[in-house]
Amino acid sequence: MRTIDRDGDLRLSGLERRLLNEFQNGLPLSPTPYRDIAQKLGTSEALVLQILARLRQQGVISRVGPVFKPKRIGASTLAAIAVPPEQLDQVAAVISSYAEVNHNYEREDRYNLWFVITAQSQQRLDAVMRRMERQTGYKILNLPLIKQHHIDLGFPLWC
């Protein structure tokens, strides 16, 4: 079970920690990926799905799914918005509500909200960015990929 310690820090069970650590990268490519994960963890598919649903509902994880190499399938871009600090959470929630966004994060700079947008085509990507701009009232800085570098975004969880 997920618990919070006296200091308010997140604590995960051993199974939750293993699930998140071992499958941040390398989601099984099979018709039954969650069953395959469960077998490797020595538990049931139902429990794996229950844990993932609960962790997503509680905001511990944002999504489970593949991340494709840029320009291999569809279109993607790195984007940023300059948002007044007092509106950052509200604008971030709007950005996160789009299925085309798999994460966003705050940076200490004029452009303080950064995110990646992925869509099935460049036309769809452009339409999503226009809609985001209308909805948030802020202009998006579009930073399309020019040269690809691989960065592993997996982080070991020690809690």
Percent of the chain predicted with pLDDT > 70: 82
Phi-psi region of 42 (alpha: psi -120 to 50; beta: other; left: phi over 0): left
Please tell me the distance from the alpha carbon of residue 159 to that of residue 123, in angstroms, as a whole number.
42
From the options 3.40.50.720, 3.30.70.3460, 3.40.1360.10, 3.40.640.10, give the CATH code of 75-143: 3.30.70.3460
Q: Coil, strand, or helix at residue 105? A: strand
Dump pLDDT digits (tens) for 131-159.
Answer: 999 999 999 999 988 777 666 666 666 65
The CA–CA distances, whole Å, from 10 to 3, 54, 59 equal 6, 14, 11
- For residue 86, what are the contacts with CB-CB under 8 A and spacing of at least 6? none
Q: What are the extents of the domains in the chain?
A: 3-57, 75-143
The total of other beta-carbon atoms located within 10 Å of residue 114's CB is 18
Q: Are 131 and 140 in contact (CB under 8 A)?
A: no
Instruction: List pLDDT tens digits, range 74-115.
Output: 888 999 999 999 999 999 999 999 999 978 899 999 999 999
